[in-house]
Structure 1
Amino acid sequence: MSEAAMACDKGGVETGPGLLTGISLPAAVIHEAPLAHNLAWMQRFAEAHGARLAPHGKTTMAPALFRRQLEAGAWGITLATAPQCRAAFVHGVRRLLMANQLVGEANMGIVAELIEGGADYYCVVDSAENVRQLGRFFAARGLELQVLIELGVSGGRCGCRDASQVEALVAAIAEQPSLRLAGIEGYEGMIAGGDEVAAVRAYGARLVDTVRLLHASGVLESEAPIVTASGSKWFDLIAEAFDRAELREHYTPVLRPGCYVVHDHRLYASAMTDVKARHPHLEGELQPALEVFAHVQSLPEPGLAIIALGKRDIGHEPDLPMPLRLYPLCSHPSAATTPLDIAGWHATHIMDQHVFLAIPGDARIAVGDVIAFGTSHPCLTFDKWRQLLLVDEALKAKESLETCF
């Protein structure tokens, strides 16, 4: 890496030294043990339900984590855009499920190059116009494009809203020799309001019923048609819908959660609590693995600490960063590596480079101490960093995990 590139790398991250004193902070870290646990846990869960796992790579865009997911048994990696697919392919991912419409000739050109390079690539379609555009482009390149029909929900994002739209789209695809209809795709995360659990279950059943009907009609050009859905909140309900003997034997059910790999401390932690409540006999659960460490920068008045951490370093939606532990490097040097409980401390405001932290008026804290923060929705922390640190239980840096945003 050039000196200029190194100068731009946030945190001056390097492996080997201890996190608290040997690394420029703030730094985003992934804890090794919970990461390994999460990889194995979700893979076992998918397999127990007869499904394949294609983790959504947009969460991390970290090729080293893609590699670990594939080594753990993942069927492929899900991505959201053509450039993301290219980044994954360059780093060795060969099966790419783009859970999005492929729009624009420049993006089609990227995908064409991936297919020519040997990628097993899929994208979704929900309009006859997009189908015609794809058909013309890939026919001109002499290539075949595998597509999945997307089923949407009323008021949601993309996707066919009803059976008549699906039927019309099937007919449009049939008119394009360069397109191969390989299955059905959906995303249940847009379902909200009322009895959400019942609505997600109904949506899962709709996905299954649709792929079965299309398979029976002979329009699916695959021996084992794909049926795929599942974000990180309702993965258990989609797995229930897919867990049928017929699907196990004759289809390719694919789950696509992404955030599970590092989980989080609130949004998906709450979702995991709900999963456990729905399945009380489920063994184990996902564990938070992603944290951001930062220095106490200023103590300008009683009850307030300013932390050298901001919107450029950590996600702040839907929740502000959550202080987890204090490492008293300066306030109690003899116990610097012994984390202190800071229950009740909370962030009140976040700016580009600062977090306002409400603390007790008599808190034992000093400028230079280090605080570990948890996040809600890990996607919005990963995209702040060119690289994250994998650390062991002693907070020693084991590996630098580059991202490709």
Structure 2
Amino acid sequence: MSISPQNANEKGLPQTGVSLLRDVSLPAAVIHEAALLHNLAWMQRFVDAHHARLAPHGKTTMAPALFQRQLEAGAWGVTLATAVQCRAAFNHGIKRLLLANQLIGAANMTIVAELIEAGAEFYCVVDSVANAQALGRFFEERGLVLKVLIELGVPGGRCGCRTQEQVFELARAVNGASALRLAGLEGYEGVVHGNDPARRIRDYARQLVTTAQALYQDRLIEADDPIITASGSAWYDLIAEAFDAAGLREHFTPVLRPGCYVVHDHGLYQDAQQDVLVRRPDLEEGLRPALEIFAQVQSLPEPGLAIIAMGKRDIGADRMPEPLRRYREGGRLSETLDVTGWEVTRMMDQHAFLRLPEAASDVQIGDIIAFGTSHPCLTFDKWRRVCLADENLNVKEVMETCF
């Protein structure tokens, strides 16, 4: 594998061969195949066991090759955050799209109209009568019908109706628009905060369930195959349990939307996964971190300090990257070097400051370090190409992203 002319200006790609330790221009974003396959199968089993469907949030990776793997593993569709993201996914073969956001603006509505005309099964979210009226006018003029989900939010949270009364008022407005079809209810528990968050999220999940049931009982749901959907990547177990326990499957398709599970991380979602396993000791081994950034020691300017050729343009900085393993450039996979006590203390655009313990006496310029990430969404969007690596750290595939 070698770099193609059209990718010559992109970073993190194989140049003369496939070895991450010899042939790839670093820094590089790397997905480990074994962990990826584990995560795909693990989450699909979890969702299937709770009698739900999976529509993973594609904004995490915006990598069509990963979307296809998620669908092949059993996903029902793909969730996106913007109209442009939906178009990118559709252009790469994704036909069922869930826009977990309000669709606003004539330009964005035009994108969605073109997707529907081209055969997309499309859902979006509404949380106001004004938005519903604007959508109704636009899609009526285009001669199309748009499936919408009412968003139920929480006080102080992000978008969404704040009360069941507002949901019902909006439902009647949607029903009054000939170009709109009310297809169910949507929520997002990640904006629920405060003391005892697990209890609060269970309460919110019950509110979603009772509101959806009330909409159905009052015959305000118009679609023949309505859905109820929620779930980010931290509390998906509580949402799945609430949907499953309520027996919603008789009238709704429950859809879960975690996105970060596909590569997991070494920070925020690793902590969240440990909480899931505490709440659910019946689950087997959890998700595995699959995404790492490989970068090199660039300078050793003073004792106890290494400067790494990797910065905020290469890796998310919600938390400082975590040094995981070290290799000699061109060395062997089996010759892993110690990084005990190493700590990234500061990051600039293209440099990281790494504090070394006194025992780190064997560090050399050019050493390759694998770093763990936190919140993978904020790392993927820094890369146009991501390397898929096998157990021998050889690049098997270069995956495109569409940010």
Q: Normalising TM by the smaller chain, what interval?
A: over 0.9
CA distance in 2 between counterparts of 1:194 and 1:56 reads: 27
Three-state SS of the structure 2 residue aligned to 1:93 is coil
Q: Give the CA deviation at 1:72.
A: 0.3
- Residue 353 of structure 2 is matched in structure 1 by 356
Three-state SS of the structure 2 residue aligned to 1:121 is strand
Three-state SS of the structure 1 residue aligned to 2:378 is helix
Whether 2:338 is the aligned partner of 1:341: answer yes
| Matched length | 400
Judge conservation of contact 1:188–1:229 (CA < 8 Å) in 2.
Answer: yes
Deviations 1:336-355 (A, max 9, x none): 75222312111000001100
Judge conservation of contact 1:28–1:293 (CA < 8 Å) in 2.
Answer: yes
Please show how residues 231-310 of structure 1 align to structure 2 within 5 Å: 231-244=232-245, 246-310=247-311
TM-score normalised by structure 2 residue count: 0.97
Deviations 1:31-83 (A, max 9, x none): 00000000000000001001000000000000000000000000000000000
Whether 2:136 is the aligned partner of 1:142: answer no
Whether 2:189 is the aligned partner of 1:191: answer no
Whether 2:326 is the aligned partner of 1:326: answer yes
Q: Which amino acid aligns with 1:326?
A: R
Q: Give the CA deviation at 1:250.
A: 2.5
Q: Give the CA deviation at 1:13.
A: 3.9
Structure 2 segments unaligned to the other structure (5+ residues): none
Q: Give the CA deviation at 1:174.
A: 1.7
CA distance in 2 between counterparts of 1:131 and 1:88 reads: 25
CA distance in 1 between counterparts of 2:95 and 2:14 reads: 29
1:390 paired residue among 385, 388, 391 = 388
Larger mean CA deviation between 361-370 and 10-19 belongs to 10-19
Judge conservation of contact 1:15–1:389 (CA < 8 Å) in 2.
Answer: no
Judge conservation of contact 1:56–1:257 (CA < 8 Å) in 2.
Answer: yes
- Residue 375 of structure 1 is matched in structure 2 by 373
Which stretches of structure 1, 4 residues or more, deviate above 6 A after TM superposition? Answer: none
Three-state SS of the structure 1 residue aligned to 2:354 is strand
- Residue 50 of structure 1 is matched in structure 2 by 51
CA distance in 2 between counterparts of 1:239 and 1:62 reads: 26
Structure 1 segments unaligned to the other structure (5+ residues): none
Deviations 1:293-338 (A, max 9, x none): 0010000111000000001111111x011111111338xx5x5752
What is the aligned-residue RMSD (CA, Å)?
A: 1.5
Three-state SS of the structure 2 residue aligned to 1:280 is coil
Q: Give the CA deviation at 1:184.
A: 0.1
Judge conservation of contact 2:175–2:222 (CA < 8 Å) in 1.
Answer: no
- Residue 174 of structure 1 is matched in structure 2 by 175
Three-state SS of the structure 2 residue aligned to 1:10 is coil
Q: Give the CA deviation at 1:284.
A: 1.8
Larger mean CA deviation between 215-224 and 296-305 belongs to 215-224
CA distance in 2 between counterparts of 1:245 and 1:210 reads: 12
Q: Give the CA deviation at 1:15.
A: 9.4
Q: Give the CA deviation at 1:219.
A: 1.1
Whether 2:155 is the aligned partner of 1:154: answer yes
Please show how residues 84-95 of structure 1 align to structure 2 within 5 Å: 84-95=85-96
Judge conservation of contact 1:320–1:347 (CA < 8 Å) in 2.
Answer: yes
- Residue 40 of structure 1 is matched in structure 2 by 41
Q: Give the CA deviation at 1:2.
A: 7.9
Three-state SS of the structure 2 residue aligned to 1:184 is strand
Judge conservation of contact 1:59–1:258 (CA < 8 Å) in 2.
Answer: yes
CA distance in 1 between counterparts of 2:134 and 2:312 reads: 39
- Residue 219 of structure 1 is matched in structure 2 by 220
TM-score normalised by structure 1 residue count: 0.96
Deviations 1:236-288 (A, max 9, x none): 00001111363123310000000000000011000010000001111121000
Q: Against the structure 1 CA distance between its residues 336 and 199, is the aligned structure 2 distance closer, same or farther, given a 3 Å change threshold?
A: closer
- Residue 365 of structure 1 is matched in structure 2 by 363
Q: Which amino acid aligns with 2:242?
A: A
Q: Give the CA deviation at 1:164.
A: 1.5
Q: Against the structure 1 CA distance between its residues 247 and 27, is the aligned structure 2 distance closer, same or farther, given a 3 Å change threshold?
A: same
Q: Which amino acid aligns with 1:37?
A: H
Q: Which amino acid aligns with 1:322?
A: E
Q: Against the structure 1 CA distance between its residues 213 and 336, is the aligned structure 2 distance closer, same or farther, given a 3 Å change threshold?
A: closer
CA distance in 2 between counterparts of 1:65 and 1:271 reads: 22
Q: Against the structure 1 CA distance between its residues 357 and 315, is the aligned structure 2 distance closer, same or farther, given a 3 Å change threshold?
A: same
Three-state SS of the structure 2 residue aligned to 1:348 is strand
Whether 2:109 is the aligned partner of 1:108: answer yes
Larger mean CA deviation between 166-175 and 110-119 belongs to 166-175
Q: Which amino acid aligns with 2:373?
A: T
Three-state SS of the structure 2 residue aligned to 1:122 is strand
Identity of aligned residues (%): 64
CA distance in 1 between counterparts of 2:153 and 2:270 reads: 26
CA distance in 2 between counterparts of 1:13 and 1:118 reads: 37
Q: Which amino acid aligns with 2:221?
A: L
Judge conservation of contact 1:183–1:227 (CA < 8 Å) in 2.
Answer: yes
